[in-house]
């Protein structure tokens, strides 16, 4: 399996369940909760889901609506140090456990999230 096969393998529903499981944990998280827009969590959920769907072979909704992802630039307003990175990954790993996607897709997604989360760090420890 390659990255662009993941959408066909897990479907819109797989991404919906994964990202819903991630955002369900965000509001009560002491590190991440305050960083996310409390009045637009549904919008944040949709942005991350649409980005991932497009990145992994599904419809390019994110690029149509938001343009080039420029993820490092878009995360500059938030202080992303090692603690925020580790917590984000912890919540995403839990969401992956809960969503129980096919093991090959699950493994590729974990590798992708780990790499991007580290790339997005913009603060020292
Ligand atoms: C490293 C820890 C991370 C932190 C603390 C973090 C935090 C945030 C916050 C606070 C937002 C704004 C929510 C919104 O209104 O959309 C955001 C947006 C976003 N994040 Fe992250 N994020 C992290 C990692 C990641 C990773 C690993 C990815 C991709 C796999 C990602 C993809 C996105 C996307 C696509 C958006 C929406 C950007 C936009 O269109 O405005 N983030 N992130």
Q: Is 22 in the pocket of ligand 1 (CB under 6 A)?
A: no
CA–centroid distance, residue 78 to ligand 1 (Å):
9
| Angle between helices 103-119 and 82-99 in degrees, nearest 10 | 170
Is 22 within 8 Å of 92 (Cβ atoms)? Answer: yes
Is 109 within 8 Å of 101 (Cβ atoms)? Answer: yes
Q: What is the pLDDT of residue 125?
A: 81
Band (101; pLDDT cuts 50, 70, 90): very high
Q: Is 117 in the pocket of ligand 1 (CB under 6 A)?
A: yes
Tokens of 99: 């969503």
Is 27 within 8 Å of 38 (Cβ atoms)? Answer: yes
Model confidence pLDDT, tens digit, residues 85-97: 999 999 999 999 9
Average pLDDT over residues 6-35: 98
Is 102 within 8 Å of 10 (Cβ atoms)? Answer: yes
């Amino acid at each position: 399996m390659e990255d662009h096969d993941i959408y066909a393998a897990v479907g819109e529903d797989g991404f919906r369940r994964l990202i819903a499981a991630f955002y369900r944990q965000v509001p009560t998280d002491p590190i991440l909760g305050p960083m996310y827009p409390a009045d637009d969590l549904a919008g944040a959920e949709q942005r991350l889901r649409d980005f991932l769907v497009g990145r992994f072979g599904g419809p390019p909704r994110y690029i149509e609506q938001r343009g080039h992802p420029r993820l490092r630039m878009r995360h500059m307003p938030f202080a992303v140090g090692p603690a925020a990175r580790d917590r984000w990954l912890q919540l995403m790993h839990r969401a992956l456990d809960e969503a129980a996607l096919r093991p090959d897709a699950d493994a590729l997604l974990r590798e992708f999230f780990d790499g991007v989360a580290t790339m997005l760090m913009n603060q020292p420890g």
